Structure 1
Amino acid sequence: MRQDVEIPYQETLIKWLHLSSIPRFGVASLTKLSQKLACQAHDLLCMGQGELLQAGLNSKQVECIQHPDQKGIQRSLDWLGCNKNSFILHYEDPRYPALLKEISSPPLLLFGYGDPQKLSNLQIAMVGSRNPSLNGKANAKLFAQQLGLAGWTITSGLALGIDGFSHQGALAAKAITIAVLGTGIDTVYPKRHQQLAENILAAGGVIVSEFAPLTPARPENFPRRNRIISGLSLGTLVVEAALKSGSLITARYATEQNRDVFAIPGNINNPLSKGCHYLIQQGAKLVTEFADINEEFSHLEFNTNVTNENKIQKKCTQSLATERLLDSVDFEATPLDIVVERSGMPASEVMSQLLEYELRGLVVAVSGGYIKLGEK
C-alpha cells in the first residue's frame, strides 16, 4: 500500500524559488495552469517543452522552467541559511498572510526578517510624501503612535519622509511595525534608514520583500511593492501626498483590494495636501484623529483606554496651563520667539509649559519651533 511522504521543506522551497524565477509568471498564471492541467504547482517543472507550450507558456518561460537559474536559487538558500532571523514564505506556506492572498496579484514568495506570524497581525498602512511638511511629519508620528497604542501594527515602506516617521511613531509606542522593501531583502534603501531597520527588528517588527537577495533598487519595483503594503493591511492612511505620487498608487491598490482608504486633510495652499483632498473627494474617509479610523473597525477589539487617557491628559493639561499660551502656537511650525511674543510670558516659563504640553500630546517640537496638534 502506497504511503505519501511529505516533501522536505527545502526541496519544496527550491521548487518555489524555481517557479518565482519564471518571467511574467505569478499566482494568477500558476493557478490558471494548475487548474487547466489538473496538477500541483510544482508539477509544471517536470513537464516537457511541447506540453508547456501547448498549455500557453511562451518560449522564454519554457526555457526558464527547463533550465533553472541554479545560482540564483542557491543564493537565496545561502541567504536563508546565514541569517537566523530570516525566512522565506511561499504562496502555499500556512504562515503566508491570508489577507495578502486576497489581492489580485499576491507575490509567489516573501523574503523576510523577523517573525513571519506577525504578517497576519491587524495592520494599518501609513504612506505619504518623501519630502513632507513639518506638520506632515508630526501627524505621521502622532497617528502611528496612537494607532500603535490602540493595538494596530503599522505597515509602511521604510522610505524617507512619512514612511520613516510612521515607523518611528510606532516604535515610540512600543508597537509592532512592518517595513515592505522595494529592493532585495538584503538591501536597506535608503541607506540612511539602516539604523531604523535595525530598530524595527530589535523591537520585534518585521522587514519583508518579494525580491530575492541582491536585487538592486529599480524604479519600477517601488510602485510594485505598494500593492503589498496595502494588501497586508485592513486600511491605508495617506498622511500627506501630492496629486502624482506613489502614495496615491498605494491608495488605488487599496481601493482595488476592497480595503478602506483614509486621508488627513491639510492646508489648501499646500501642494502636499492636494493628493489627500483628491482622495477625500473620491470617497476616502477624512480623519482628524486615530479614533476616526478605529470606528470603521468596530467589530475588532482595540485598546479603547487610549482615547480615554488622551481626554484625561488634555483636561489635566488645560488646568495647568493658560489658554493664551496654547493659542500662541499655530497648526504650522511656530518659532519659540513668536510664542513668547504672542503670549507675553517669560521665555523660561513658556519653555517649561511647552514641554508640559508636549508630554501631554498637545504640541510637538519640530526644527522650526512648535506645532499645535489640536483637540484629542
Structure 2
Amino acid sequence: MTQNTIQYITPNDSIYPQQLRNIHDPPQKLYYRGDHTLLQSQKMFALVGSRKMSTYGKQLVSLFIPPLLVHTIVIVSGLALGTDAQAHKETLHNEGKTIAVLGSGIDDASIAPSSNIWLAYKIIASGGLLLSEYPPGTPGYPQHFPERNRIIAGLAQGVLVTEASIKSGALITAKLAAEYGKDVFVCPGTIFAPLSAGTNTLIKNGAFLVTHPNDILTELGYPEIHTATIIKTKVKQFAQQPEVQKLLTCFVKDAQQSMEELMQKTGLPQDKLLATLTQLECEGIITALGGTRYAFI
C-alpha cells in the first residue's frame, strides 16, 4: 500500500479516531490518503477562517501555527481556499503535520477545490493526511462542506477562528466545537471589517478572545512558548537566505527594532535591508510600527 492508495475505516476499526466516536452522527466511513497514524494523535488543533482571507488573516495564521507545532500538535483544517489552505501551507512550511478534511472525494478527480490539488499532494508527501466521509468520485457539493465541519470540530482539542463574516462556514465549525465541549478561540478584529463581524460576535457570545499563541497553549495545558523560541524556529526556514536569518536573529533579545539598529547589527545596506523587511512583512513575520520601527509578530 502506498501513501496515494485510498483506504477507508469504520467505527469498527481500532484506528478509527476515538474523538469522532463521541460526536453526534459520527461518519460511518472515513476515506483517507496518507499517514493514518495521525488519527491516533491526542494533540490535534483546528484552524479555520474566511475563504476571502485578508492580509490580517494571513498574519494571524503565521503567528499562531508555529508555536503550536513546537508542541508537535497536528493542525486540522479543510483545504478550502483562503484560510484553510494557508493553515496547511504554514504547517508544511514549518515542517509540521496536518490533516485536511475535505467536503468531496479524495481522489485526484474529485478534490475540491481543484486548484488545491498540488497542496493536497504536498500534504501527503510531507507525512500528512487527506480525510473525507465521501467516497471517491464524489464532487464537492455545497451541502458537504457544513457537514464535514463536524469532523474538523470533532477531531480537534480546540478550534481557532481567525476571520469570519457573519455568514461564514467557520462559524458552523465553531458552533459544533462548542457543542462537543471543545474550546473555541477567536481573534478579534476591527468593527469596520466585514471579515471580523462573525468573529467579534463569537467573542460577544463567550468564545475565548486570543491575541497571542500562549493564550491557546495555556488554556489547553501546554507550556508557553517564548518569542525567542519562535524566532529561532523561523530562522531555520531561511537556510538559503542568510540575510533573512541575520535579520531575524536581531529580534531574539528584543522583539522591537529600529531601522538604524537593524542596519548596525546586520551590516546590510539600506536597500537590501528594506527589501528583506518587506519580504518578512509580506509573509506576516514582522510588522512596521511606524517611525522606522519594526516588531516581530
TM over 0.5: yes
Which protein is richer in helix relative to its size?
Answer: 1
How far apart, CA to CA, are the structure 1 residues paired with 2:261 and 2:115?
37
Superposition map of 1:1-376 within 5 A:
85-121=5-41, 122-186=43-107, 187-298=110-221, 307-310=227-230, 314-316=251-253, 321-322=257-258, 347-354=271-278, 361-363=285-287
How far apart, CA to CA, are the structure 1 residues paired with 2:204 and 2:72?
29
8 Å contact kept, 2:35–2:124: no
Larger radius of gyration: 1
Query: TM-score, normalization: structure 2?
Result: 0.80
How far apart, CA to CA, are the structure 1 residues paired with 2:21 and 2:215?
27
How far apart, CA to CA, are the structure 2 residues paired with 1:166 and 1:175?
11
Amino acid of the residue matched to residue 13 of structure 2?
D
**Structural RMSD (CA):** 3.0
8 Å contact kept, 1:280–1:286: yes
Query: TM-score, normalization: structure 1?
Result: 0.64
Report the secondary structure of 2:8's partner residue: strand
State the Cα distance separating 1:357 from its structure 2 match. Answer: 7.5
Aligned length: 267
8 Å contact kept, 2:10–2:28: yes
8 Å contact kept, 1:99–1:120: no
Matched-pair identity in %:
37
How far apart, CA to CA, are the structure 2 residues paired with 1:318 and 1:236?
27
Deviations 1:239-286 (A, max 9, x none): 100011100011011011111100011122101011111111111111
How far apart, CA to CA, are the structure 2 residues paired with 1:373 and 1:219?
43
Report the secondary structure of 1:160's partner residue: coil
| Equivalent position of 1:53 in the other structure | none
State the Cα distance separating 1:360 from its structure 2 match. Answer: 10
How far apart, CA to CA, are the structure 1 residues paired with 2:48 and 2:280?
30
8 Å contact kept, 1:317–1:357: no
Q: 1:82 to 1:279 in 2, by over 3 A?
A: same
Deviations 1:139-194 (A, max 9, x none): 12332233223321110000000000000111011110000010122121111101
State the Cα distance separating 1:120 from its structure 2 match. Answer: 2.4
8 Å contact kept, 1:149–1:306: no
Amino acid of the residue matched to residue 274 of structure 2?
V
8 Å contact kept, 1:145–1:172: no
Q: 1:193 to 1:84 in 2, by over 3 A?
A: closer
User: Comparing both chains, which one has the higher relative contact order based on Cα–Cα distances under 8 Å and sequence gaps of 6 or more?
Assistant: 2
How far apart, CA to CA, are the structure 2 residues paired with 1:95 and 1:109?
12
